Amino acid sequence: MTKWLDPVEQRAWRAIVALMTRLPGGLDTQLQRESGVTHFEYWVLTLLSEEPGHRLQMSELAHKANASLSRLSHVVSKMERMGWAQRSATTGRRGVQAVLTEDGYSKVVEASPGYVDAVRRLVFDGLDAGQTAQLAELSDILAVQVTETLINIEENAGSADKQTKSADKQTKS
């Protein structure tokens, strides 16, 4: 039986939904207007710029960017066409690395001041130091909760798929 949200949970959930729908659009608008990149492209450029050698295995980059490998691959392809990134085979390992080029590094450096100004305006200017600390703590807790729940769902789905395939094999024999 479904346990419905109480009024406080409903208020909190609606606030989260408003943030999830409004914030990305606000950041996208600012970044596209000032730097010609989407928020997700900027995020990928930033993640690469923070890595030693400005390179990262595609699967790890997808994980850090909270994106599917497919979505990341499309964005890295666009970044390659723009001259901001390239792919590099990893010697001795499976997979491919995304590597930030000098032009890509310049792009993230160019876009960063406007991005930080937008983040400050949209999020932090309305909070005092205590509220910012609370936001950080609650966000960390929620991120862990969501990640662990999604992992459990994926693992359970995988177990169910294996059980179904096993049952199918037994039925056919």
- Helix (H) / strand (E) containing 16: helix 7-35
Least confident piece of the model among 11-15, 62-66, 78-82, 91-95: 91-95
| Residue boundaries of the structural domains of the chain | 7-126, 128-173
- pLDDT tens digit string along 15-45? 999 999 999 999 999 999 999 999 999 999 9
* Confidence (pLDDT) at 162: 60
Could you give the CA distance from residue 28 to residue 40 in angstroms, rounded to a whole number? Answer: 8
Using CA atoms, how far residue 13 sits from 5, 17, 20, 23, 133, in Å, is: 9, 6, 10, 15, 20
How much is the pTM? Answer: 0.80
- pLDDT at res. 14: 97
Q: What is the pLDDT of residues 105-141, one digit of tens each?
A: 999 999 999 999 999 999 999 999 999 999 999 999 9
Q: Could you tell me the pLDDT band of residue 159, with boundaries at 50, 70 and 90? A: low
What CATH topology corresponds to 7-126?
A: Arc Repressor Mutant, subunit A (1.10.10)
